[in-house]
C-alpha cells in the first residue's frame, strides 16, 4: 500500500495568471510517472495537498475535471508562505501532489435533478470542475437544467473568463456572471451573488444547489435559497477549515465529530445544522 503522506511528483506544465491583481494563478500539472495519473482518480469536489520541498503543503481544491485527461489543474490565491512559494515557481519546475483527498460533490444523487451552482470569488475552483464534468457529452444527459451563478468584485477578478464565455454561448447551461458594482466597460450583470440568484429564480422542486464562496456570500445566499424553496438537504456546501494531514489522523480540521478533510469537505446544509459552528 502506498504511504498516504507521499506526494506524486508532477511537473508544472503551464502557469496562468488569472486575475488583474496577479494574486490568483492557475497551475496545470502533469504527472512525471504516467501510472500516477491513473492512481490519482478523483471526483469533482475533492482536494489535494500541493507539496513544495522546503516550504510544506497546502490543501487546494481540484479545479480540473476527470474528463480532462493528461493533466490536473489548481488555482491558488497568494496569501502566505506556501502559496507565495508556489507563485514563485516556474513552468518546468517539479513539485508534489498528495491525494485526491476528501469526499466529493454527490454527483450520483444529483442525477435527474436541476443543478444550481452558486459561486463567489475564487471559491469557484471545484465548481469549475463540476460544471466541466456535467457539460461533458458523457454526462450532460444525466442532469436537468444547469444554472451557473458566479460573481466577483470586478471583471478583472473573474476566473476562467475564456471558458465561461464558451459556457455563455451554449444553450444547455444558464449562466449569470456578475460583478459587485458598475465598472467601466462592463456590460454584463451587476449585483451581489445572492441578489442575482434571486433574480435567476431557479425552480427548487427537483433541484440541488451547490454553493461555494466567501462566508459572507454563503450567509446571504442561504435565506435566498430558502425563499426559493430549497430545503436544507437540497443545499450542498464545501468547507475550507485549516488542515494538516488531510487524511483524518491529526485532528486539525475537526468540526464536532467530523473530520472536514475526510468526512468532508462537502456537506449538505442539513448535515451542517447538526454540527457546532466551528467552520
Ligand X SMILES: Cc1cc2nc3c(=O)[nH]c(=O)nc-3n(C[C@H](O)[C@H](O)[C@H](O)COP(=O)(O)OP(=O)(O)OC[C@H]3O[C@@H](n4cnc5c(N)ncnc54)[C@H](O)[C@@H]3O)c2cc1C
Which residues contact ligand FES by CB under 6 A?
Answer: 243-246, 248-253, 259, 261
Per rule CB under 6 A, is residue 82 in the interface with ligand X? yes
Considering CB distances under 5 to 8 angstroms, the limit depending on partner class, which of ligand FES, ligand X, none binds residue 125? ligand X
Neighbours of 14 (CB within 10 A): 12
Comparing CB distances to ligand FES, the nearer of 231 and 250 is: 250
Interaction partner, residue 132 (ligand X, ligand FES, none; CB < 5-8 Å by kind): none
Of residues 5-64, which lie at the interface with ligand X (CB under 6 A)? 47, 58-61
**Burial of 103 (C-beta count, 10 Å sphere; 0-12/13-18/19+):** middle
Nearer to ligand X, 80 or 257 (CB): 80
Residues 93-152 that bind ligand X (CB under 6 A): 122, 125
Q: Give the interface segment with ligand X, choosing from 79-87, 177-185, 214-222, 226-234 (CB under 6 A).
A: 79-87
Q: Which residues touch 91 (CB under 8 Å, ≥6 apart)?
A: 12, 13, 14, 15
- Residue number of the CB atom closest to ligand X: 80
Sites of contact with ligand X (CB under 6 A): 47, 58-61, 75-77, 79-83, 122, 125, 240-243, 265
Amino acid at each position: 500500500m502506498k504511504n498516504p503522506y507521499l506526494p506524486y511528483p508532477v511537473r508544472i506544465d503551464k502557469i496562468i495568471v488569472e486575475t488583474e491583481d496577479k494574486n490568483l494563478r492557475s497551475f496545470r500539472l502533469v504527472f512525471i510517472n504516467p501510472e500516477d495519473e491513473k492512481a490519482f482518480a478523483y471526483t469533482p469536489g475533492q482536494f489535494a495537498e500541493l507539496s513544495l520541498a522546503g516550504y510544506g503543503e497546502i490543501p487546494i481544491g481540484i479545479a480540473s475535471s476527470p474528463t480532462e485527461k493528461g493533466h490536473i489543474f489548481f488555482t491558488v490565491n497568494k496569501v502566505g508562505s506556501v502559496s507565495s512559494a508556489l507563485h514563485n515557481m516556474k513552468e518546468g519546475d517539479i513539485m508534489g501532489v498528495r491525494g485526491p483527498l476528501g469526499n466529493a460533490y454527490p454527483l450520483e444523487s444529483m442525477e435527474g435533478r436541476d443543478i444550481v451552482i452558486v459561486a463567489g470569488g475564487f471559491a469557484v475552483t471545484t465548481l469549475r470542475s463540476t460544471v466541466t464534468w456535467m457539460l461533458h457529452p458523457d454526462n450532460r444527459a444525466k442532469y436537468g437544467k444547469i444554472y451557473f451563478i458566479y460573481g466577483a468584485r470586478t471583471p478583472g477578478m473573474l476566473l476562467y473568463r475564456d471558458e465561461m464565455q464558451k459556457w455563455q454561448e451554449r444553450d444547455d447551461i444558464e449562466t449569470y456572471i456578475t460583478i459587485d458594482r458598475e465598472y467601466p466597460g462592463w456590460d454584463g450583470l451587476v449585483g451581489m451573488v445572492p441578489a442575482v440568484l434571486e433574480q435567476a429564480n431557479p425552480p427548487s422542486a427537483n433541484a440541488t444547489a451547490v454553493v461555494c464562496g466567501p462566508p459572507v456570500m454563503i450567509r446571504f445566499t442561504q435565506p435566498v435559497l430558502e425563499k426559493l424553496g430549497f430545503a436544507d438537504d437540497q443545499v450542498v456546501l464545501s468547507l475550507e477549515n485549516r488542515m494538516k494531514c488531510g487524511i483524518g489522523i491529526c485532528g486539525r480540521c475537526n468540526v464536532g465529530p467530523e473530520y472536514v478533510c475526510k468526512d468532508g469537505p462537502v456537506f449538505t446544509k442539513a448535515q451542517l445544522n447538526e454540527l457546532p459552528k466551528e467552520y
